[in-house]
Structure 1
Amino acid sequence: MIEALVGILIFAFGVMGLIGLQASMTKAQTGAKFRADAANLSNELIGVMWSDAAGNLGKYASASCDTHAPCKDWAGKLDQRLPAATSVVVVDAPSGAVSITIEWTQPGEGKHRYQTSAMVQL
């Protein structure tokens, strides 16, 4: 009888370990998805800037993003895909230098940040 109880105890610890491993894997997968979404969204914005660069590059800066429709649409996507997301877009229109910083807060964790820069030639 004691041998059976010890066997059940060992089995229970194994099952609890598998449950903990599954929870850890799910958390890591969610974090990876958010990082990939941030990278894709920043690349998407740079692509939109390239296609709309003629005279409109300065409108993609964070201060004037709400007044330019393509930038406003991108900001809406950012809010949908990343939890508690904020972005800072710095544009130097004369040189074409663009810097995009995206921050989000993953539930149960702290803030995360993705930053990229590019040159959008006019």
Structure 2
Amino acid sequence: MIEVLVALLLFMLGVLGMVGLQSSMTRAQTESKVRSDAAYLASELIGRMWSDLTNYTTYNGSGCATQTRCKEWQTKVANSLPGGLGAVTVDATTGNVSVTVSWTMPSGDTHQYVTQTTVAKAGS
């Protein structure tokens, strides 16, 4: 009888270990997906800026108040990422652009993805 109880105890510990491993794997997979979504969204905004070179300096700031395409992008960031926010910094003299996408996971951890590039007209 004791042998059966010990066997059940070992089996339950194994099952609990598997449940913990599954939970950890799901959390890591979710965080990975959100990180890749943030990278995609930052690249998408840079693509939008390249397609709108005459107005790329109006994308500057966290509010993008004067640029409709940037506001649409920020709405997409907010809808795609948990607690998602997007900010853009444009240096009009050099054409350097920095895109920051930040989000907060349900566990309360905050993360951000930052990418930098140069967006400028040819010959300028």
Identify the TM-score tier after normalising by the shorter chain: over 0.9
> What root-mean-square deviation, in Å, do the aligned CA atoms of Structure 1 and Structure 2 show?
1.2
CA distance in 2, matches of 1:72, 1:99: 16
TM-score (norm 2): 0.91
Q: Secondary structure at the match of 1:66?
A: coil
Question: How big is the shift at 1:4?
Answer: 1.0
TM-score by length of 1: 0.93
Q: Provide the residue aligned with 1:46 in structure 2.
A: 46
Does residue 77 in structure 1 map to residue 76 in structure 2? yes
Partner residue in 1 for 2:16: 16
1:7-41 C-alpha deviation (Å, 9 max, x unpaired):
11100000000000000001101110111011000
Equivalence for 1:2? 2
Whole-angstrom distance in 2 between the partners of 1:63 and 1:41 = 15
Counting matched residue pairs gives 121
- Larger deviation, residues 107-116 vs 56-65: 56-65
Deviation >3 Å, runs of 4+ = none
Which segment drifts farther, 18-27 or 65-74? 65-74
User: Gaps (5+ residues) in structure 2?
Assistant: none
Structure 2 CA distance for partners of 1:64 and 1:107, relative to 1, 3 Å: closer
> Does the Cα contact within 8 Å between 1:62 and 1:87 map onto a contact in 2?
no
Q: What is the rounded CA distance, in whole Å, between the counterparts of 2:79 and 2:62 in structure 1?
A: 20
The percentage of counterpart residues that share the same residue type is: 48
Structure having the higher helix fraction is 1
CA shift for structure 1 position 63: 5.2
Matches within 5 A, 1:31-110: 31-54=31-54, 56-62=55-61, 65-110=64-109
